[in-house]
Amino acid sequence: MTKPLVSILIPFKNVGEYFEECLKSIQNQTYKNWEVVAVNDNSSDDSLAIANKFATIDYRFKILSNDKSGIITALRKAYSHSSGDFISRMDADDYMAPDRINIMAKSLLQEGKGSLAVGKVKYFSKAGVNDGYDRYEKWLNKLTATGENFNEIYKECVIPSPCWMVYREDFEASDAFNPDRYPEDYDLAFRFYELGLKCIPCTTTLHYWRDYDNRTSRTSEHYAQNYFLDIKLHYFLKLEYKPNNNLVVWGAGKKGKTIANSLVEKNIPFQWVCDNEKKIGKDIYGVRLKHFSALKDVKHSKTIITVANEDDQNTIRSFFTDLEQKPAVDYFFFC
């Protein structure tokens, strides 16, 4: 398998302003053995006409229509009509670096099954990239450069949704696009993690990520913060927590309260700590908050940390180092 077929799956809806640039960036790839399976998710602009224009002049473009509505069903249909040995995804409003497919396919061939190809990303916007996206880009690219993405999976989505490639067999073993759980890209990242796939380090920018006001990740309710917290807690309880662990929540802000309330509703016992003198000793959701120093006496603990401030996070890391506890093993940052 020297030049495996790569299936590039693209759900699209009302991206006429950007779609041609996206499809041209695929057409101009240095790696030529690919197919695009693009699914129109009920567009009302000229997106479908643009896609059909490419399909008319290049047989490698397959254009379909979503029988239902939504990105997950569109992705399912795209995958069901794909034939590639390798599976990748693309966002219809972004564009690829010319060597993206070649670099990813080559790295998968070298590393073999059980591996996941990723690449560095670059945000761009007519209005300028805001600080939040800039920080996310730098954080994500630092992980990608060393292949340590999964070490911080409970913080944010560590696999850029439109910039990964995987063996078809591994994708099937990860349950493909079957779960009805949003955000679908974060859920898939957790399933890659659960399967034990190893991220292949990459130091090259392979994907250009467009930011604009009505981008789906900005406007859809499925990308609200509560959805992210639900996914984090779901997989934490499934993959990290064991009944013999002493579960701890560190932080009593909005996210800490959301996690604590979910645990109470699930009847999962936990201890709750913070460093806020105004909250220590108070009962919230029937759980009394303690000073974090109480953790020195807690054995076999698994701690969920919902403190976002970077300086505070460094102090927390030092605290756990003194306790000889390890990140992503004994304690997990959820933000």
Q: Is the pLDDT of residue 77 over 90?
A: yes
pLDDT over threshold 80, residue 224: no
Q: What average pLDDT does the segment 219-228 reach? A: 62
Q: How confident is the model at residue 212 (pLDDT cuts 50, 70, 90)?
A: confident
pTM: 0.94
Q: What is the pLDDT of residues 107-135, one digit of tens each?
A: 999 999 999 999 999 999 887 778 888 99
Mean pLDDT of all residues in 72-86:
98
Q: What is the pLDDT of residues 128-161, one digit of tens each?
A: 778 888 999 999 999 999 999 999 999 999 999 9
| Cβ atoms < 10 Å from Cβ of 301 | 18
d(CA 219, CA 213): 8
State mean pLDDT over 271-282: 96
Average pLDDT along the chain: 95
Q: Which domains does the chain have, with CATH numbers?
A: 6-223 (3.90.550.10), 243-333 (3.40.50.720)
Whether the CB-CB separation of 158 and 140 falls below 8 Å is answered with: yes
